[in-house]
Amino acid sequence: MPRLLRHTLLILLPLVAALALAPALYGNHLLLFNVIVFLTLAQGINIIYGFTGYLPFGYVGFFGAGAYGFALAVMHLHALPLVALAAGGLAALLLGVLLTPLLRLSGAYFSIANLAAALAVLQIVSNPALESVTKGPYGISLSGVFDPALAYGVALAILAATTFLVIWLRHSRFGMALQAIREDAISAAMAGIDVVRGRVVAWLLAALVAGLTGSVYAWYISVFYPETVFGGEITIFAIVFALFGGTATILGPILGVVILYGIYNAIGISAPQYFQLIYGLLIMGLVLFLPNGLASLLRRRGIDVP
């Protein structure tokens, strides 16, 4: 059986089935929805960082652009939710195109510039002068389209499509070309790989993933403020989850979200006064002892991690 099909059957289908059945077995619907959101965002980080080596500290900018694209389509165009969802994805994609010149940078320079771009977008949408368009800093209410059950299902479909995209990248010639670019762009170019095209395509795919996720998030909660969808903790969580499990893998970001987000919620409930200390120590341990994530640890023990 081809590895693409095998990993789809062994990873994607059980994941989707478990999350589809989970609301009937567990009462905290918002928690389950957030799991889907972070699973999708962690795979989005995986696409741009795991396969090309670009670490986007401002990845939340695409998430926020998607949320506002959805909201503006509903408020001003009276679009149906699914149409507005596409508008949110398009808004993030256009932002990705606008920020494509950032790919000329590398390392910390790219990460910091990307973060600055996300902060700039936040300042634009929260500007009181744009209250008639974006509602400025006063928040958005979309109660007319509030439908958490349907939004949950659509979010699950976006997660399924994103995970399948990562599975495809893991086994396709294009994905292998991206990994070659990540390891040594000069050697990849000499081997005939279009380095610029590869980076741009991965960048825009990651932007689209975050934009669609932000759109469905806005649909699910229906009431939010600029800081809610442009909050830096969204990027931090997505990056930490992806790195903890291991990037450039299919299963790594999934393991990262399940383990760390589970610990995050357990600590927040059982020991909220020690939450920041314990979670901070966990992240420090990750950086010091598992720089390549759980996937590297499992491989050292002879376990193949797809």
Look over the chain and give the mean of its residue pLDDT values, rounded to a whole number. 91
Half-sphere exposure of 48 (CA within 13 A, CB side): 31
CA distances from 114 to 55, 108, 162, 302 (A): 9, 10, 22, 37
Instruction: Report phi then psi at 26, rounded to 5.
Output: -135, 130
Identify whether the C-beta of residue 176 lies closer than 8 Å to the C-beta of residue 65. Answer: no
Compute the distance between CA of residue 86 and CA of residue 258 in angstroms, rounded to an integer: 28
Tokens of 146: 């509030």
- For residue 57, what is the DSSP state? T
Half-sphere exposure of 306 (CA within 13 A, CB side): 21
Whole-prediction pTM: 0.94
Whether the per-residue pLDDT at 232 is higher than 90: the answer is: no
Q: What is the mean pLDDT of residues 140-158?
A: 95
Residue with tokens 């002892």: 289
Provide the pLDDT for residue 111: 93
Identify whether the C-beta of residue 66 lies closer than 8 Å to the C-beta of residue 220. Answer: no
Q: What is the mean pLDDT of residues 185-197?
A: 93
Task: Using alpha carbons, select from 1, 59, 18 the residue that is nearest to residue 241.
Answer: 59
Whether the per-residue pLDDT at 222 is higher than 90: the answer is: yes
The percent of residues in the chain predicted with pLDDT above 70, rounded, is 95
- 210-221 burial, b at 16+ Cβ within 10 Å, e below that, comes to bbbbbbbbbbbb
Provide the pLDDT for residue 120: 96
Provide the pLDDT for residue 305: 67
Tokens of 110: 């790219």
Strand partners, 223: 141
The percent of residues in the chain predicted with pLDDT above 90, rounded, is 73
64 or 273, which is more confident? 64
232 or 168, which is more confident? 168
Provide the pLDDT for residue 302: 64
Provide the pLDDT for residue 288: 76
Whether the per-residue pLDDT at 264 is higher than 80: the answer is: yes
All structural domains of the chain with their residue ranges: 3-300
Provide the CA 77 distance to its chain's centre, in angstroms: 27
Compute the distance between CA of residue 100 and CA of residue 88 in angstroms, rounded to an integer: 18
Residues 101-131: tens digit of each pLDDT: 999 998 899 999 999 999 999 999 999 999 9
Which fold, 3-300? ABC transporter involved in vitamin B12 uptake, BtuC (1.10.3470)
Strand partners, 140: 224
Identify whether the C-beta of residue 212 lies closer than 8 Å to the C-beta of residue 158. Answer: yes
Compute the distance between CA of residue 160 and CA of residue 106 in angstroms, rounded to an integer: 30
Residues 163-190: tens digit of each pLDDT: 999 999 999 999 999 999 999 999 999 9
Instruction: Quickly state the pLDDT bin for 293 (edges 50, 70, 90).
Output: confident
Residues 66-113: tens digit of each pLDDT: 999 999 999 999 999 999 999 999 999 999 999 999 999 988 999 999
Tokens of 195: 């380095």
